[in-house]
């Protein structure tokens, strides 16, 4: 069950206090059947973050990474604000299309796709996807020949990120030309380049090196006589606050230096945690406890395979606040 509630900021001494009061009111009015973990989603937080993105990166359209948090209310808010979407599966594409988002605002940002999912994207009109192997070129040619490609580049080394996505996806520098030639031979259009420097990013300077590598790939495609590429996808890794401001300054400068002579290039990004990390508050119940000497252990009704997956993936140290 979901409730839509509002509060006036001027009546709350602190934002955190307002969320806490709302959680307490939900607990007090819930039936026994509803007494389980739930989230409070602050839609105004997303509005503020979207405005901050537009101020910081005015020439970069955000394509929200649905895999980060597919909550329909969050997707709907971002769709209304004008965001595009980074989808990695058929289910994610279906969820976004159900909101009335046009297929042209979706990137199938998965360099290794199953054929049935790719065939669904073809039927749905989602015509932009990523690749980093010659096998994927052949698959796209076979299952979705109208689809355009973004060549996914491996992020630069030394990004000091918690989750290094370069170990799984991304072409190395010596693989760029062979992959461009593979698409050229197959007659599949390469619309641009994408990269992901990892998430979250600790050294924002890594975006500069990634953008320089992307420009090199643009130039190599031009040298091969390929049609001019028109899309640059700078990926994700953003966190809200001062870190985003620092990253935006580096990105804007790097784009001006590396792509200033290509004003027709559309630049997009794939923020995930940026929009949802601070917008949700988890309320969970203590459902068990154990004392062993000086150690007290508690069990709650959510866990690593639910809302707290970031303990495994991001090595997050959770610091819960008792409400009782």
Any idea which residues carry the catalytic annotation?
A: 67, 196, 270
Structure tokens at 82: 């004008």
Residues 6 or more apart in contact with residue 181 via CB below 8 angstroms = 224
Q: How far apart are CA 302 and CA 36, in angstroms?
A: 9
Q: Are strands 38-41 and 280-283 parallel, antiparallel or unpaired?
A: antiparallel
Alpha carbon 135 to its chain's center: 25
Work out whether strand 84-87 and strand 60-65 pair parallel, antiparallel, or are unpaired: parallel
* Helix-then-strand count for the chain, H and E: 11, 12
Read off the tokens for 248: 């935006």
Name residue 196's beta-bridge partners: 154
d(CA 246, CA 251): 9
């Amino acid at each position: 069950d979901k409730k839509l509630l509002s509060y006036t900021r001027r009546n709350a001494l602190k934002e955190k206090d307002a969320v806490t009061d709302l959680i307490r009111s939900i607990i007090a009015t819930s039936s026994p059947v509803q007494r389980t973990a739930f989230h409070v989603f602050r839609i105004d937080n997303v509005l503020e973050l979207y405005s901050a993105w537009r101020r910081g990166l005015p020439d970069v359209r955000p394509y929200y990474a649905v895999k980060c948090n597919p909550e329909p209310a969050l997707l709907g808010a971002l769709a209304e604000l004008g965001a595009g979407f980074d989808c990695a599966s058929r289910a994610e594409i279906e969820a976004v299309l159900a909101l009335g988002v046009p297929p042209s605002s979706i990137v199938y940002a998965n360099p290794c796709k199953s054929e049935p999912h790719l065939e669904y994207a073809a039927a749905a009109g989602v015509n932009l996807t990523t690749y980093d192997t010659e096998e994927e070129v052949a698959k796209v040619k076979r299952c979705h020949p109208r689809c355009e490609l973004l060549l996914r580049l491996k992020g630069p080394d030394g990004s000091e990120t918690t989750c290094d996505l370069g170990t799984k996806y991304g072409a190395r520098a010596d693989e760029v030309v062979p992959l461009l030639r593979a698409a050229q031979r197959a007659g599949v259009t390469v619309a641009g380049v994408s990269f992901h420097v990892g998430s979250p990013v600790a050294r924002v300077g890594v975006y500069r090196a990634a953008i320089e590598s992307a420009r090199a790939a643009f130039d190599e495609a031009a040298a091969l006589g390929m049609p001019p590429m028109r899309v640059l996808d700078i990926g994700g890794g953003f966190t809200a606050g001062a870190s985003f401001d620092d990253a935006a300054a580096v990105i804007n400068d790097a784009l001006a230096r590396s792509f200033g002579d290509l004003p027709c290039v559309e630049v997009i990004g794939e923020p995930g945690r940026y929009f949802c990390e601070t917008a949700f508050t988890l309320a969970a119940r203590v459902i068990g406890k154990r004392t062993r000497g000086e150690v007290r252990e508690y069990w709650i009704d959510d866990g690593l395979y639910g809302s707290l997956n970031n303990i495994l993936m991001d090595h997050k140290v959770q610091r819960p606040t008792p409400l009782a």
